[in-house]
């Protein structure tokens, strides 16, 4: 039996990569638990395993006391002297126990404790191994497909690729190689702990790092990634070396590098956008292949109004709003798209409805102070809070109240038509995919080969 135990410990240590000393301590704890089942839960049991010869030594330790409170580990002096003639109060007497005496129950209990501890050790090892690899690219072999979830054999564990983390319309067969990023490591999971993803933006980022040496060498930086898996992605890149073209490095000779990634993603279209520190330039590039006419930046709201030619509007929006939506995610700016015709129409209406402050008859001095303060129209005056109006040099509180009252009276007596609402469309970084988005259909130029913006 001793040789069998030694062989079993060696096999578990080798196959499971579990610490041998931990196994020995677990084996001792399991046998001690079996002894306590017979002698009581509070019994003082000592089990020692000799790792050299495989012998197990087990003893029940009884403490000599004057009055017995727990017979599971206490003896009176009289009872103790039957085993040790000179026993005194406070002595601890070890009574050897034969493992064979406990039979199959002891072995079964020890086995259960050992199996449980080995499983816990394996899970701890997987967690330590992969918790530092979250967001990194891993490669494995498909073991099975269960209810849409793909079980993947990794180097040191099993991983699961949930259906929601798979690229739409992709298929995985048993024994196929598959690449994915480690999304998270779930310690509470009953099955595989390592959760994988092929839809996360980091998957696209890691693929570029593996295919483009300049990125791996930090010559080219991936600034941001926006992705709608299986359909289209945008990735912004920047070269720290002026001699190296960031976009050209990612595309490769005759598109070899980016095409390799496109095949990995099942034909997903990829736009490579050169990054710029100027937000207006960056947004203009991110909206490619559409050509942007004018960009107006609102730093306070982190919003941009982008004016494009009428024939470029559908390209800028993209199918289902996809192009503009991805551009907003890539840049982190809210984008308001408007056609040149609509913008001109709104501008004309605003000009037609413009009411100069001179019509209020406030006096030459007061009118001049308002104009110097940036207030040229009655509309601008009414949009200004009273406390801001008082801050204009030469405009006191009473004057401000009188000016406001006069403006309200004039507009009540002379209502003007407000500027018409254009077909301006807003896209924000938080927008989700919306297949039902009602926009003009893009031209054929919007769909095709991977585009380098």
Q: Is residue 253, in this structure, part of any structural domain at all?
A: yes
Mean pLDDT of 75-100: 82
Pair 230, 186 in one domain = no
Per-residue model confidence as pLDDT tens digits over 225-234: 999 999 999 9
Per-residue model confidence as pLDDT tens digits over 97-135: 776 666 566 666 666 777 777 777 777 777 777 888 889
pLDDT of residue 11: 65
Pair 154, 105 in one domain = no
Q: Is residue 428, in this structure, part of any structural domain at all?
A: no
For the question of whether the overall pTM of this predicted structure is more than 0.85, the answer is no
Q: Is the pLDDT of residue 219 over 60?
A: yes
Which CATH number fits the domain that encloses residue 235?
3.30.300.20
Pair 193, 234 in one domain = no
Q: Lowest-pLDDT range, 133-137, 197-201, 219-223, 270-274?
A: 133-137
Q: Lowest-pLDDT range, 133-142, 174-183, 291-300, 409-418?
A: 409-418
Domain boundary among 100, 129, 158: 129
Pair 72, 181 in one domain = no
Among the ranges 345-354, 388-397, 444-453, which has the highest mean pLDDT value?
388-397
Which residues, including other chains, have CB under 8 Å from residue 127's CB and lie 6 or more apart? 185, 187, 193
- The alpha-carbon radius of gyration of the chain (Å, integer) is 38
Pair 7, 123 in one domain = yes
Pair 171, 242 in one domain = no
Q: Distances from the Cα of 201 to the Cαs of 89, 235, 251, 326, 330, in angstroms?
A: 72, 9, 18, 12, 11
Q: Is residue 289, in this structure, part of any structural domain at all?
A: no
Pair 144, 205 in one domain = no
Pair 62, 151 in one domain = no
Q: Is residue 65, in this structure, part of any structural domain at all?
A: yes
Residue 344 has phi, psi (to 5 degrees) of -65, -40
Pair 99, 145 in one domain = no
Q: Which residue has the higher pLDDT, 288 or 114?
A: 288
Domain housing 372: 354-413
- % of the chain exceeding 90 in pLDDT: 33
Pair 148, 239 in one domain = no
Count of the separate structural domains present in the chain: 4
Pair 114, 57 in one domain = yes
Q: Is the pLDDT of residue 451 over 70?
A: no
- Asked if the bond preceding 120 is cis, omega within 30° of 0, the reply is no
Q: Distances from the Cα of 160 to the Cαs of 78, 125, 206, 268, 383, in angstroms?
A: 64, 17, 19, 23, 57
Q: Is residue 281, in this structure, part of any structural domain at all?
A: no
Residues 228/433, Cβ–Cβ less than 8 Å: yes
pLDDT of residue 158: 86
Q: Is residue 71, in this structure, part of any structural domain at all?
A: yes
Q: Is the pLDDT of residue 444 over 70?
A: no
Q: What does the mean pLDDT of the chain come to? A: 82
Q: Is the pLDDT of residue 57 over 70?
A: yes
Mean pLDDT of 213-218: 93
Pair 87, 205 in one domain = no
pLDDT of residue 41: 79
Per-residue model confidence as pLDDT tens digits over 417-439: 544 445 567 888 877 765 444 44
Q: Is residue 312, in this structure, part of any structural domain at all?
A: no
């Amino acid at each position: 039996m001793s040789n069998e135990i030694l062989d079993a410990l060696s096999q578990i240590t080798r196959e499971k990569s579990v610490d041998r000393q931990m196994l020995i301590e677990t084996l001792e704890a399991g046998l001690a638990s079996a002894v306590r089942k017979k002698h009581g839960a509070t019994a003082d049991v000592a089990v020692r395993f000799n790792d050299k010869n495989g012998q197990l030594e087990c003893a029940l330790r009884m403490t000599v006391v004057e009055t017995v409170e727990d017979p599971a580990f206490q003896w009176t002096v009289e009872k103790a002297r039957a085993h040790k003639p000179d026993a005194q109060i406070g002595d601890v007497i070890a009574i050897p126990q034969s493992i064979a005496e406990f039979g199959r129950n002891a072995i079964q209990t020890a086995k259960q404790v050992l199996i449980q501890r080995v499983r816990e050790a394996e899970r701890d090892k997987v967690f330590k191994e992969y918790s530092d690899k979250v967001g990194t690219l891993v490669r494995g072999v498909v073991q099975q497909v269960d209810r849409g979830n793909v079980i993947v054999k990794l180097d040191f564990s099993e991983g699961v690729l949930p259906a929601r983390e798979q690229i739409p319309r992709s298929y995985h067969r048993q024994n196929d190689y598959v690449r994915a990023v480690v999304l998270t490591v779930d310690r509470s999971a009953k099955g595989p702990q390592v959760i994988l993803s092929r839809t996360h933006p980091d998957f696209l980022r890691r693929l570029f790092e593996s295919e483009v040496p300049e990125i791996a060498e930090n010559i080219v930086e991936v600034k941001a990634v926006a992705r709608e898996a299986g359909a289209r992605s945008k990735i912004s890149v920047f070269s720290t070396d002026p001699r190296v073209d960031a976009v050209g490095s990612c595309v490769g000779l005759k598109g070899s590098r980016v095409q390799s990634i496109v095949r990995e993603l099942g034909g997903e279209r990829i736009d490579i956008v050169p990054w710029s520190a100027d937000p207006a330039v960056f947004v203009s590039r991110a909206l490619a292949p559409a050509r942007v006419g004018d960009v107006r930046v609102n730093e306070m709201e982190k919003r941009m109004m982008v004016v494009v030619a009428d024939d470029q509007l559908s390209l800028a929006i993209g199918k289902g709003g996809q192009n503009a939506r991805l551009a907003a995610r890539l840049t982190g700016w809210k984008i308001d798209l408007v056609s040149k015709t609509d913008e001109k129409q709104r501008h004309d209406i605003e000009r037609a409805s413009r009411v100069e402050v001179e019509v209020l008859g406030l006096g030459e001095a007061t009118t001049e102070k308002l104009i110097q303060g940036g207030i040229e129209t009655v509309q601008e005056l009414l949009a200004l809070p009273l406390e801001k109006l008082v801050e204009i040099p030469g405009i006191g509180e009473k004057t401000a109240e009188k000016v406001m009252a006069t403006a309200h009276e004039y507009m009540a007596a002379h209502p003007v038509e407000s500027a018409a609402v254009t077909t301006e469309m807003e896209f924000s970084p938080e927008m989700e995919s919306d297949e039902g988005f009602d926009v003009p259909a893009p031209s054929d130029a919007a769909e095709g080969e991977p585009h380098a913006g």
